[in-house]
Amino acid sequence: MTEQETRRRQRARFEELAQVVAQPLHRYLLRRTDADLVDDVLSETMLVLWRRIDDVPGLGTDATPRPDDVLPWCYGVARGCLANAHRADGRRLRLVERLIRTRQHEPADTADHGDLHAALDALGELDREVVRLWAWEELAPRQIADVTGLTPNAVSLRLHRSKKKLAKQLETGRKNTERSGHKTDEGRSGQ
């Protein structure tokens, strides 16, 4: 096989991989950082995938890659690229400030998920990531393990405990918002 043919084959493999993973990775990054940074981190992620095309698990030489086989590893690459971007630019602090400002100025017609965000914020960083990968990316514990570097059993335990903590916090939040005492129409006759 000539060098030119090898490059052509490698490029074809990458293009097939990119067609499968580009949109899910873009959604993954949109949920984790501001829109200004998403395209840069996605580009960096795709560059790493190009360089490490032979390391992508589940990527055969001839068949179109299956998302369930390649996405968990690609999510892990994207996660690492995002962490590098945050460390390099010091954007973590600015991102937190923007999120706080955004939550304060949400339009009235949007659903209020403040209690859910507060409950998520109460979890540790890794637990929050495990819950997000499970809920938003719809990954199974085995796939989450590929992304985070944990064992599938550790992911299952973290997910179970985190869901219990979230449920408890959400329930506590609902109890605290109910007013005690009499209702305004209580005790009055209907006449």
Half-sphere exposure (CA, 13 Å, Cβ side) for 79? 19
State the angle between helix axes of 114-121 and 152-177 in degrees (0 to 180), rounded to the nearest 10.
130
- The overall pTM is greater than 0.85: no
pLDDT tens for the chain, 191 residues long, are 788 988 888 888 899 999 999 999 999 999 999 888 899 999 999 999 999 998 888 887 666 788 888 999 999 999 999 999 888 776 446 556 777 777 766 555 555 667 888 888 889 999 999 999 998 889 999 999 999 999 999 999 999 999 999 888 888 766 655 555 545 455 444 44
Token output for 95:
């991102």
Whole-number Å distance between alpha carbons of 14 and 47: 10
Whole-number Å distance between alpha carbons of 66 and 106: 38
Q: Map residue 97 onto helix, strand or coil.
A: helix
Whole-number Å distance between alpha carbons of 160 and 185: 43
Whole-number Å distance between alpha carbons of 47 and 56: 13
Whole-number Å distance between alpha carbons of 27 and 144: 16
